Amino acid sequence: GVDIRIGEKLASVEHGFSHFSMTLHVFGSTFVSGQPETLRCQAWKWLHASELRGLPFPRAHWPGLEKIAQAPK
């Protein structure tokens, strides 16, 4: 696994669905040490925050992803 340092809160994004609502809390983080493992996925890849826009995330995640892309490096 990996160790990270949790940074400042970047955003809270509320999204309503037909039968429920959810709030996504977005935090900055910094890699500290370790190696990612493929426990419940076939592969992993490090991405720069600006590369997240091109991935097929659900619409509810878009505002949080935008905050990540705009966060200071």
- List of E strands, 1-73: 2-16, 21-34
- pTM for the whole thing? 0.72
pLDDT greater than 90 at residue 3? yes
Say what the pLDDT of residue 27 is: 93
pLDDT greater than 90 at residue 20? yes
pLDDT digit string (tens) for 42-72? 888 888 888 888 889 888 888 888 888 888 7
User: Percentage of the chain with pLDDT > 90?
Assistant: 32
Q: Give the integer Cα–Cα distance in Å for 50 and 29.
A: 15
Average pLDDT over residues 15-23: 89
